[in-house]
A and B are shown apart, each in its own frame.
Chain A
């Protein structure tokens, strides 16, 4: 499935969009981290919570739980909010 990557994480992927697989959002992020070491911890903390300024959308629906199931063809968007100066 297609996964869009926000600019702050493109130093890992060198691309704005990558193809990845996983039966859940958690598995997808583990796959991304295997290919792009370190990327998961920048988005997900050690208690498996999505960091406060990161949002993950599946088919444009916001997802907070890594257990959320994925199906082939789902579109995953990782977005990052900016605030402050």
Chain B
């Protein structure tokens, strides 16, 4: 595979932590050996995703709501010194028949578009709808090609598939070669692709199982937990699915279950998947127990991160420093991230409020924060001098 070569980053790493009770920032020193906690910001707000725009290194967006107030997006254009609320948060159009109108419950996922589209962001919500901002997150408009697609209700089961917390649109990926080429993930519904900027969509689920369906290989209705597109190899997609770990090469467009090569006693069920910023054959996952009634905790109470460095042909366990027993960790789909240093830093946050860091690409681990609220999301941001 030929890929562009990019240098490792050397700036200060900041972890943006979105939790059930607010936003926290974890600042690293140069060696990434010491971490200082800043926060809480927006204490009491549910922060599903906190993202720094890598195109300007200054614009931060927070997908927020409280348990009882409507959803919104908070934004800062100065790295969090001053926060303002989006003037027009993601919302459906007012329906002629109010009883039939859809309502955004919460904004779940935020993705900045690529460099060719400065100030463009996408947001995924529950119910599973897509919104676009062209002014750095201040005003949001529905992507009607998806939200009003004739098959939307069919593909999303009416947006009411019963996922805890609501049916979700997540994993918005923009092809760096062509910003009109978009991928999204639906839990449930599957992976979908648009090649015309969101005007029309088609399912992209061939090869992926859906063992919870009567037809185990349907065209749609799958449950991708997290889908990643490598920016240097955008013809390769990775997916941590409800039914395993998958990889796809375009243009064949068939998912291959590379997780079958994981140790059988661990399995290949989990929520997040993260890619190496410079090596498209390297990916990390955090396996969880998908047996019996699906505890979705570390298998056997022994947490580990697994890495493949050969496009899924083999997997290696990394658990030094992690508890070796009685640790029933759950890591959600947005709660694992990597930085762009050399060696790459790998990080995950747990629903029990811990954040763990590895500065040797997942071999050994240190707990850098504990006693935080339930962690929804973790993003590594690089602050250049």
Contacts and interface: CB of A to CB of B under 8 A. Distances in A.
A46 B92 contact: yes
B69 A43 contact: yes
A84 B67 contact: yes
Interface residues of B, number: 20
22 contacts: A8-B66, A37-B85, A37-B87, A38-B85, A38-B89, A42-B69, A43-B70, A46-B91, A46-B92, A46-B93, A46-B103, A46-B104, A47-B92, A47-B95, A47-B103, A48-B98, A51-B69, A51-B70, A54-B69, A80-B68, A82-B68, A84-B67
A81 B72 CA distance: 19
Interface in B55-86: 66-70, 72, 85-86
A1 B87 CA distance: 26
**Chain B contact residues: helix, strand, loop or mixed:** loop
B264 interface: no
B101 interface: yes
Nearest to B85: A38
B69 A8 contact: yes
Interface in A28-79: 37-38, 41-49, 51-54
Nearest to B74: A38
Contacts of B213: none
Given A46-B104, A47-B98, A41 B68 contact: no
A9 interface: yes
A54 B94 CA distance: 20
Please give me the 9 A-B residue pairs with the lowest Cβ-Cβ distance, nearest first: A53-B68, A47-B101, A46-B91, A42-B69, A38-B85, A45-B103, A47-B98, A42-B70, A41-B70
Contacts of A48: 94, 98
Greatest chain A CB density within 10 A among B67, B72, B95 is at B67
Given A41-B89, A48-B94, 10 more contacts: A38-B89, A41-B72, A42-B70, A45-B103, A46-B92, A46-B103, A48-B98, A51-B70, A54-B68, A54-B69
Given A37-B85, A37-B87, A41-B89, A47 B94 contact: yes
Contacts of A53: 67-69
Range for the number of chain A residues in contact with chain B: 20 to 34
Given A47-B94, A47-B98, A42 B72 contact: yes
Interface in B73-123: 85-87, 89, 91-95, 98, 101-104
Contacts of B66: 8
Given A46-B103, A49-B98, A81 B91 contact: no
Contacts of B103: 45-47, 49
A5 B335 CA distance: 35
A27 to B, nearest CB: 17
A41 B87 contact: no
Contact of A81 (B68, B85, B87): B68
B68 A51 contact: yes
Contacts of B93: 46
A83 B155 CA distance: 33
Interface string A11-41: 0000000000000000000000000011001
A83 B67 contact: yes
Contacts of B72: 38, 41-42
A43 B72 CA distance: 11
B85 A46 contact: no
A76 B98 CA distance: 25
A9 B1 CA distance: 54
Contacts of A8: 66, 68-69
A84 to B, nearest CB: 6
A63 to B, nearest CB: 16
Contacts of A51: 68-70
